[in-house]
Amino acid sequence: MAEDRTGTDETEAERALGSRAPEFVKARRALHLSWQVGVFVVGLAVVVTGIIMLPLPGPGWVVIFGGMAIWATEFVWAQLVLRWTKRKVTEAAQRALDPKVRRRNIILTAIGVVIIAVLAGIYLYKFGLQMPWKIKDQ
């Protein structure tokens, strides 16, 4: 395994839980508490922005996980949530690469495309290229 600058294995560094604040910040209780409040506020702003982006155009989930990553620099609970999420995403990606699952997803996608094409064809046959809100009662 590769070693980082401190001589510990990378997996040990990944598993270390707790604050990643600089040592001079951790040495002073009031400064460390202020640091944690600042990290929490910044992380909260990023998470709230991500939540706002969920129904709007934008990468909502990516921004939410970015806020969680900010929190994970200081808070053990956020580090544990990110580890759990990473594990679940990796498992889902492995399942998605399964040939049976891929074949099923391709078939379902093809069926969905055919249904949408048929519905669009029926609409065009009946109404032409008019927008739905401009169609008058017939």
Query: Quick check: 107 pLDDT over 90?
Result: yes
For 65-93, write each residue's pLDDT tens digit: 899 888 888 888 888 888 898 899 888 88
Which sign, positive or negative, has the C-alpha torsion 124, 125, 129, 134?
A: negative
Confidence at 138, pLDDT banded by 50, 70, 90: low
28: left (phi over 0), alpha (psi -120 to 50) or beta: beta
- Count of other CB atoms within 10 angstroms of residue 33: 11
Relative orientation angle of helices 76-96 and 99-127, to the nearest 10 degrees:
80
pTM: 0.54
